[in-house]
Amino acid sequence: MINSIKTPNRLVNEKSPYLLQHAYNPVDWWPWCEEAFAEARQENKPIFLSIGYSTCHWCHVMGRESFEDQGVAGILNRSFVSVKVDREERPDVDAVYMAICQALTGQGGWPLTLLLDTKKRPFYAATYLPKNSRYGMTGLTELLLKVSELWKTSRNRLLESGEQIVEAMREQDRTGYVQEPEKNLLYEAFSAFAHSYDSRFGGFGEAPKFPAAHNLLFLLRYAKEENPAASEMVLHTLDGMYRGGLFDHIGGGFSRYSSDEKWLVPHFEKTLYDNALLVMAYLDAYTQTKEPLYRHIVRKTLDYASRELTAPEGGFYCGQDADSDGEEGKYYLFIRQEILDILGENRGRRFCEWFGITEQGNFEGKNILNLVENANYREINPTMEHCCEKLLCYRARRTFLHKDDKCLTSWNALMITAYVKAYLILEENQYLDTAQKAERFLEEKLSRDDKLFVRWREGVSAGYGKLEDYAFVVWAELMLYQAIFDIRYLKKAVRFADTMCDRFFDDTEGGFYLYARDDERLILRPKETYDGAMPSGNSIAAYVLGKLFKITGEEKWRERSQKQLRYLAGSSGRYPAGHGFAMQAFMDALNPSQELIALSPEQEDLRKLRKLVAAKPNLTVVVKSPENGQELAELSPYTKEYPVTAGHPQFYLCSGNSCAASVDTLQALKW
């Protein structure tokens, strides 16, 4: 709660929920702006840069310990120019300095803490720092005092260090090479995942465990097209994430990561992008297995997104905090007697047995609901679901979780794609309605003249769109086109893809830069290819460029797609498993594809076409009718050659470089 007696700093005029959380700190914060750096040059002070986001638990901890402390604030205000950045509003700033932190320390995360010279070059990087040194960890107070003294006595050493760091990063960016994508990259990625796979609890590597759903999407497709053995890893992981506390069994939705190997103890923070990607993974698993549990998980997760993360205007919020009343996870935890009081003795006992709730608890004396020890976890029990609904109403009366209520273009586009995919696979119209409403929100609030903004909040759009914004929006528009074959979505996909290529693409070597050529120039202009918490913009760009070529047949999309694939193949060759979504783009290019041209299809044909799109990842469908023929020909010139007559459906199936003779019904197609 903000104390109105305190004096606000410059952040009070910002829109970012994260910056506003620090608007009443005694630290004399600046937002990221040229005026802050001019102040540093004029005062001849180093820059203290702090990057985080509003639902970040350790950002809150560092804020309480240090940035609300008068002593720490005094040091910062005397000796530094302090700059606060919301990583979600400025993904370019975050990416540049996170890469440097990872290069210097071997790790990354938030809060991200850096010390810069007046040219914005870092000479120190870390993540969370306690106020005072403890357990071998440098304290922020000691660090600031030491650097303040060094700035006076040995400034040249700090400046040389910053210059060397930046030059080393630039040299690393210059050492890229290209190669043709080959299937051995797919195998190497699969092998790396197989090597790190936890066969007992699912997931990859040791705790903490992250869902990394884009890697699961790759493995599911690899299982279908290359090696069925990959399927077991994914399905066991999906089951493990659901059984543990990572999944909110009462309200739906997934937390960001698990602190333990069993997926039992979550971090409790929920983000839009994780839930969007996990919906896609469970949908693909449902498509392959027809397991009802996966459909149930998808529905419950999308119910959560619709209930908690959807703005009245139709867009999606960023996520929910882990903390309430200053305690991580408090909102989600129950003691056994509480359950018995709410549900009644008999039903309450059954519920506690089902979800592993005990007197002693499994987390700090309280209980995280879970199915880790429940052998019947696949059963969707109506009684237990009714109890969960009752507990959801009860839980809603607790101290509310902070919600980051800004709408980010890239994350919104990702969730639109998830809703469209749910519509295609589950055939439930409300998911399409939600996707279309959110797409209209993007068009009205987050785009102008074929250019995108980064975020919208409280009626204000801001920030020049980055690569991930354009790539994810093109993907969402293409998904909508493949779902209902409305040419409006194809036209928008083409327009935004053109803008993306014009402003971000390196025509010489391939690859897309993180930010546009006419955007603010930072100390580095990288081409990010590694997948992080989300697939990289370069991987999504490669994927959608290939789709655009298959739909339109336009040579420019083929050329850009091939150049991008060669660039990604060169970049991913060092560690294919770090480029999970790029592997899907490679499979599109390397495995046989099919294009289906449907002329004047009936309504029932359209429903069947949607089912085909959902089931066949390498199938592209183009629908031509008397009404859209002229517009379609402008986007896909080859469709001019296909005669169309109302009421007389015709279907042409093309594979490789040849097309079969037309047939009158979809059933007559030879796959």
| CA pseudo-torsion sign 400, 405, 411, 416 | positive
Residues 178 and 228: their CA atoms lie apart, in Å, by 30
Query: Which helix (H) or strand (E) is 225 found in, with range?
Result: helix 213-225
Structure confidence by residue, pLDDT tens digits, 347-392: 999 999 999 999 999 999 999 999 999 999 999 999 999 999 999 9
Selection from 80, 65, 83 nearest residue 145 by Cα: 80
Residues 329 and 633: their CA atoms lie apart, in Å, by 55
Structure confidence by residue, pLDDT tens digits, 241-297: 999 999 999 999 999 999 999 999 999 999 999 999 999 999 999 999 999 999 999
Instruction: Give the N- to C-terminal CA distance of the chain in Å, as an integer.
Output: 62
Residue 3's pLDDT band, with cuts at 50, 70 and 90, is very low
**Mean pLDDT of the 634-647 span:** 92
Pair of tokens at residue 58: 């350790």
Give CA separation, 267 vs 330, 348, 398, 559, in Å. 11, 26, 19, 44
Share of the chain above pLDDT 70, in %: 99
- CA quadruple 241, 242, 246, 248: dihedral, nearest 10: 170
Pair of tokens at residue 235: 């399905």
3-state secondary structure of 132: coil
Output 658 or 17, whichever has higher pLDDT: 17
What is the identity of the amino acid at 584?
Q
Q: Considering all CA atoms of the chain, what is the largest pairwise distance in Å, rounded to the nearest integer?
A: 84
List 31's β-bridge partners, or say none: 84
Q: Give burial (CB, 10 Å; 0-12/13-18/19+) of 321.
A: buried
Selection from 365, 444, 375 nearest residue 409 by Cα: 444
Residues 194 and 210: their CA atoms lie apart, in Å, by 16
Residue 658 is predicted with a pLDDT of: 87
**Mean pLDDT of the 6-25 span:** 96
Residues 386 and 379: their CA atoms lie apart, in Å, by 14
Residue 175's pLDDT band, with cuts at 50, 70 and 90, is low
Residue 5 is predicted with a pLDDT of: 64
Is the backbone of residue 511 left (phi > 0), alpha (psi -120 to 50) or beta? left
Average pLDDT of the chain to the nearest whole number: 96
Residues 193 and 436: their CA atoms lie apart, in Å, by 36
Give the count of beta carbons closer than 10 Å to the beta carbon of residue 136: 5
List 596's β-bridge partners, or say none: 621, 653
Q: Give yes or no for residue 204 having a pLDDT over 70.
A: yes
Structure confidence by residue, pLDDT tens digits, 43-56: 999 999 999 999 99
Residue 1 is predicted with a pLDDT of: 39
Residues 219 and 229: their CA atoms lie apart, in Å, by 9
Selection from 477, 541, 474 nearest residue 505 by Cα: 541
Structure confidence by residue, pLDDT tens digits, 516-560: 999 999 999 999 999 999 999 999 999 999 999 999 999 999 999
The lowest-confidence range among 75-79, 131-135, 330-334, 394-398 is 131-135
Q: Give yes or no for residue 319 having a pLDDT over 90.
A: yes
- CA quadruple 184, 190, 192, 197: dihedral, nearest 10: -170
Pair of tokens at residue 156: 């040249």
Structural contact between residues 115 and 161, judged by C-beta atoms closer than 8 angstroms: no
Residue 359 is predicted with a pLDDT of: 97
Domains belonging to the chain, first-starting first, are 10-174 (3.40.30.10), 207-308+322-401 (no CATH), 594-668 (no CATH)
Share of the chain above pLDDT 90, in %: 94
